[in-house]
Chains A and B, each alone.
Chain A
Amino acid sequence: MAKTLRIIVACGSGVATSNVAAEKLKGALSDRGLYAEVRAVDMKSLESEARVADVLVSITPYATRDQELKIPALNGIPLLTGVGISALIDQIVALS
């Protein structure tokens, strides 16, 4: 069995939006038969959090910081708007 994918979902506080998005992502991934570890994090702590993660799903896309990290960064806005979720899941499945 492949290693479990570690996904971090970042928002501005790591409290509300990122947790709601993380729960939604977990559900959408398990619907596709992919089990992943999904954690909500504070974007202010991204540097340290990214060291123990494989993928970043960011609710604050285009942040200059996303590009400095060593892991792929995906746009997490679809998790909030509901538009384009399956494309996002495809991207994550391709990474796993």
Chain B
Amino acid sequence: MNAFIQAFLDLGTAVALPVIMIILGLVIGMKPGKAIGAGLLLGVAFTGMGVLFGFAFPALGGAGGAMVSRFPGLTFKSYDLGWTVASVISWAWPYAFFMFPLQIAINIVMLALGWTKCLNVDMWNVWHKATLGAFTTALLSGSFLGPNGALAVGFLIAAIWVVLELISADLTREQVYNLTRIPGIAVSHNMLLDAFWMAPLLDLLEKIPGINNIHTSPADLRKKLGLFGENYILGAILGLLFGLLAGYDYKGVANLVIAGATIITVFPMMAGLFARALAPVAEGAQEFMQKRFPGRSFYVGLDWPVLGGIDALWVTGILVAPMLLFWAFILPSSWNDTLPFGSIIAVSLIATTTVLTQGDIVKSALLSFIAVPVYLKAATFFAPYLTKLALDTGSMQLQEGYQQITWLEMNAAGFRLMVFAVLDMLNGNILLGAISAVALVACGFYWVSGMKRRENAAAAVSGGISGNPKPY
């Protein structure tokens, strides 16, 4: 039996993933033809991603390396390829699919106990729990826990994340409703967990005299900025900028412009194939959960794109893009070694600041400006973990001279950093972990009370998602 499993794993992830998908598809009752189709598509997406790595790394890494040798003091060794890449790699973690039952079981128990009103049907973002599990396991494998103990803690952290996501969805429901006016939903994405420390920070910012009286028109700004939102244009601009900074000749610059536009456009397409292949699993899980709670009053937890209609979100995104570059170039390499690229529109950051500031662009941009270094730190800190996962699972081959991959808009970056500092205490690094633990507890209490206050304020404007203008 063991020999059989070993032979199966030796086939490589590009084959093993489709096989797992086909078996899973048959288990949840898909027709054999459809299950095989979904499995094949998963293999295509995974392999396509690997092919793209071979193109993206020399292009981006080459420019990054040239910049570093031209400007002493710059040390880029981690390349931000965006969340789409991280998501595909995370599915290759051998235990990733176990995150589905974990998330569903916890949600059902919490609904039954009345601890949440959110039925999270967003099965796509299960991949975040996979990254947490994989990263925790990698962080603690060398500790006294051993590999199996580390894996158990990895699942525990993923479980805690599931619980907090649901509470976060509850605590942002009114704010989301006030911005979107979509009834019956909440955003259960873990990005909003960074409200943990951003909410108190925003309270401080709001004390700045006059800041509450600046009025802007996001819709007009959105229209004027229009075209810049398109991915390939942003990729081309970054290619131009990096090509010039790298000191390339005109031919090199022109090629990097096209390469930049290509990378930023095609990676999400590969991840899109992944989403299509996984759609039946997500649908099956959703139906399973909704059948368990018929007629109960709950809010359906969804992924962040329901926020995409908010003009202030995209305006903030365009304002934050140069901030990412600014901070990335001036922070010392001990703090940041990440070259921003794929996450140049940093959705997880700007969606969180947009919800918290209720679409106030000025406050949202200010909050983002302070938060960007935290996101850079997280991208830098987690780069070795993502790179290791990619290498271990055969998602990519690392070429000589090109170093690490990461993603900059790591969801709940600050919160994640604090949690990992606490976990690092198990490796004997006590001081930072102890400080983080105290900060987490303090922020946690503030988070609940501060968010309730913000929920009441939002409900007072909108009339309340359930028709109650004072929910707390």
Residues of chain A touching chain B, judged by Cβ–Cβ distance below 8 Å, are 10-20, 22-24, 40, 42-45, 58-64, 66, 77, 80-83
In Å, the complex CA distance between A23 and B230 comes to 24
How many B residues touch A, CB cutoff 8 Å? Answer: 42
Q: Lowest 5 A-B CB distances belong to which pairs?
A: A12-B308, A60-B308, A63-B309, A12-B305, A11-B305
9 A–B contact pairs at CB < 8 A? A15-B84, A16-B124, A19-B272, A19-B275, A20-B279, A60-B306, A60-B307, A77-B306, A81-B185
Which one of A23, A59, A64 contacts B305 once the chains associate, using CB atoms below 8 Å?
Answer: A59
Give every chain A residue within 8 A of B184 (Cβ-Cβ): 81, 83
Give the shortest distance, in Å, between A59 (CB) and chain B (any CB). Answer: 5
Give every chain A residue within 8 A of B381 (Cβ-Cβ): none
Contact indicator A42/B268 (Cβ below 8 Å): yes
Contact indicator A59/B276 (Cβ below 8 Å): no
In Å, the complex CA distance between A94 and B283 comes to 26
User: B300 at interface (Cβ–Cβ under 8 A)?
Assistant: yes
Give the shortest distance, in Å, between B310 (CB) and chain A (any CB). Answer: 8
Contact indicator B271/A11 (Cβ below 8 Å): no
Nearest residue in A to B283 (C-beta to C-beta)? A24
Give every chain B residue within 8 A of A62 (Cβ-Cβ): 180-182, 309
Give every chain A residue within 8 A of B403 (Cβ-Cβ): none
Contact indicator B282/A82 (Cβ below 8 Å): no
Among A12, A17, A82: residue with most chain B CB under 10 A? A12
Contact indicator B347/A82 (Cβ below 8 Å): no
Contact indicator A80/B121 (Cβ below 8 Å): yes
* B278-292 interface (Cβ within 8 A of A): 278-280, 282-283, 286-287, 290
Give every chain B residue within 8 A of A59 (Cβ-Cβ): 305-306, 308
Nearest residue in B to A19 (C-beta to C-beta)? B275
Which one of A13, A19, A60 contacts B279 once the chains associate, using CB atoms below 8 Å?
Answer: A19
In Å, the complex CA distance between A56 and B61 comes to 39
Give the shortest distance, in Å, between A85 (CB) and chain B (any CB). Answer: 11
User: B112 at interface (Cβ–Cβ under 8 A)?
Assistant: no
Given A24-B279, A63-B309, A83-B300, 12 new contacts (CB under 8 A): A11-B303, A12-B304, A14-B272, A16-B87, A19-B275, A20-B123, A23-B280, A40-B272, A43-B305, A60-B305, A61-B180, A77-B306
In Å, the complex CA distance between A76 and B128 comes to 25
Give every chain A residue within 8 A of B123 (Cβ-Cβ): 20
Nearest residue in B to A21 (C-beta to C-beta)? B279
* B221-268 interface (Cβ within 8 A of A): 222-223, 229-231, 268
Contact indicator A16/B303 (Cβ below 8 Å): yes
User: B160 at interface (Cβ–Cβ under 8 A)?
Assistant: no
User: B311 at interface (Cβ–Cβ under 8 A)?
Assistant: yes
User: B118 at interface (Cβ–Cβ under 8 A)?
Assistant: no
Contact indicator A12/B279 (Cβ below 8 Å): no
Give every chain B residue within 8 A of A13 (Cβ-Cβ): 84, 268, 305, 347
